[in-house]
Structure 1
Amino acid sequence: ELFVELSNRLRVNLMGYDYSGYGQSSGQASECNTYADIEACYKCLKETYTINDDQLILYGQSVGSGPTVDLASRTPNLRGVVLQCPILSGMRVLYPVKCTYWFDIYKNIDKIGSVACPVLVIHGTADEVVDYSHGKRLWELSKEKYEPLWISGGGHCDLELYPDFIKHLKKFVVSLGNKQAEKATD
């Protein structure tokens, strides 16, 4: 239902997927498999639907920010990236470590600087699963920052209920369309 509402309200086409081992997907849940899952989605969009990178806005929520940032860091011509309640890394969700260990997973903190397109970060200030400082830091480290949305009192799984959520997403999508039009006239 949320995908349909987002598609209608933002006037965009959406493609979603379940990670291996989650939802309707079979297989084993692992970091490596989530990267393969988003890569398969990306390949489908490119090959089956002939979508160009500059038409794609990647969206990752919570742990889903890991595969999203990974793909975005390797795909230079994306239109944009949205990170909702993103994690700095798997280890940093559990412990406030200062460095990245080799065994850490979803090392967004080390990859976000390689994302070459506009990045919108949305995070609730009362998120009890992933501290709001994660979203704030990823936004600070982004090369091409878009005005973030910090939802006062917002939690981890309720941000869509706040009116500013859709308004800000729409503003971001419109700004990316305007930016694309400017590129075409240059």
Structure 2
Amino acid sequence: MYLIFQRILTGLFKLLSVIRCLRSTIVQYVAFNPPEVGYLIRNRNEVIKTITLSPMQEERSRTLDEPQSPLIQVKQPIRQSHQLTKEHLSIISPRIKYYNTLQSAEYKQQLRNPKNQDQYPSQEFNFISNELKAMEIDNNPGLPISSYVLESKSGNLIASIYIEFQNSEQIILYSHGNSTDIGLMFDTYVDIVMECKINLFSYDYSGYGQSTGYPTDINLLYDIESAYIFLVDQLQFEPRNIIIYGYSIGSGPSTNLASRHDVGGLIIHSGLSSGLRVIDPTIDHTSYNDIFPNLDYIVDVTAPVYLLHGGADSMINVVHAEQLAQNAHHLFSVWLVENGGHGDIDSQWKELYFKRLQRFLQYCQTAYVVRPQQKQNKRTTKHIYDECNFDKEIFQISLLEM
């Protein structure tokens, strides 16, 4: 009976997806679940103290032009600013604290900035508490934190966070899962930076956090494209030092990006082989209208691939990791955690999680492969993504006038 229900759902999606606009609407409301916004971004050159905010009354797309907009929607989850331990601070050189102006020469010298700091200024990243107050992150002297707002090809403004670790040339481009944003993921990001001694850049998908627009699979591909180009062209990271990390639904844009660009490595954490296979893992042929067909795009990934998945994952079955492993040409390792769930591997198996992650990052430093200029496409299935041009992305950095 359940098998029949699966077939009906997948068949209905394929039928309705014939109409492009209808497909986008279905994907937006079925596949994505943006949470309540848990953070605030303000210009670094403003005086940023704890302030009381009122709930947002207007549409998200208009908030970036409103002087007093809190950029939040409704009641916010409880968040606390991250506390670094003495052990953390002892392993890195003393760094500067935040400055309230972009004119500080010391700040410009010590924090990696885009080519033109006047044109691409940093932003402040703040949490939103349950009392609707913005809390400045002023207790991280060893971890300079910047936030940038990118404009993707879709025209949406994409909020991002950049956490720097001194003397590290590698950086993780992290695409988070569903039902979260970069504010809720902050503690996880700091743990990765401190344990792996690596830079980290993450962004919110269109319609998530403070990013404008609506979430669709196509928009997510545009979002991560803007992030990647920003890392290469503005933050000056070499492609070989950019490690793509996709968790859950973030495995979609991550795998697609790694299949088209030179990157240092690809990490798929609790990822999916394709959207329709989440409903029915037994699907043999990938539909033209399927969402995030990672199973087909991972064939074109020339970088090392590291897969980790929970054996007891009730949201995305472990068979997805097995399918992806079979199609990966440069597979580093597959870690199937026997009793692991969808979102507890990095917490319940924390020590082993970081040990394996560190090993993969070290391997990526010596296993870089340059993508051939004219590479034969091994995929036999054509997807709707093939009609989109992601390689000639043009983006801007936009100031938040608040």
Give the TM-score category using the shorter length. over 0.9
Q: What's 1:93 paired with? A: 278
SS at match of 1:82: strand
Q: What's 1:176 paired with? A: 364
Conservation of the 8 A alpha-carbon contact between 2:267 and 2:306: yes
Post-superposition, which runs of at least 4 consecutive aligned residues in structure 1 deviate over 4 A? none
In 2, Cα distance between the equivalents of 1:36 and 1:43?
11
Q: How does 1:47-86 map to 2 (within 5 A)?
A: 47-75=233-261, 77-86=262-271
The structure whose residues are more often helix, as a share, is 1
SS at match of 2:360: helix
In 1, Cα distance between the equivalents of 2:309 and 2:300?
21
1:127-176 CA distance string (max 9 Å, x none): 00000010121012101011211112110111111132111101111122
C-alpha deviation, 1:39, in angstroms:
0.5
Q: What's 1:167 paired with? A: 355
2:276 aligned partner, one-letter code = M
In 1, Cα distance between the equivalents of 2:340 and 2:208?
25
1:78-136 CA distance string (max 9 Å, x none): 11110001101000001132111122110111111100010000101000000001012
1:20-57 CA distance string (max 9 Å, x none): 11223221010110001000101110111111211110
Conservation of the 8 A alpha-carbon contact between 2:241 and 2:365: no
SS at match of 2:250: helix
In 1, Cα distance between the equivalents of 2:365 and 2:259?
21
1:87 aligned partner, one-letter code = L
Question: TM-score, normalization: structure 2?
Answer: 0.44
Pick one of 37, 47, 56 that aligns with 2:223.
Answer: 37
Moved more, 39-48 or 18-27: 18-27
In 2, Cα distance between the equivalents of 1:130 and 1:74?
25
C-alpha deviation, 1:179, in angstroms:
3.7
1:175 aligned partner, one-letter code = Y
2:118 paired with 1:118: no
2:307 aligned partner, one-letter code = V
In 1, Cα distance between the equivalents of 2:361 and 2:332?
11
1:167 aligned partner, one-letter code = K
Q: How does 1:122-137 map to 2 (within 5 A)?
A: 122-137=308-323
- The unaligned stretches of length 5 or more in structure 1 are 181-186
Question: TM-score, normalization: structure 1?
Answer: 0.92
- The unaligned stretches of length 5 or more in structure 2 are 1-186, 369-402
Conservation of the 8 A alpha-carbon contact between 2:265 and 2:303: yes
In 1, Cα distance between the equivalents of 2:212 and 2:310?
31
Cα distance change, pair 25–81 in 1 and its aligned pair in 2 (3 A)? same
Q: Percent identity?
A: 33
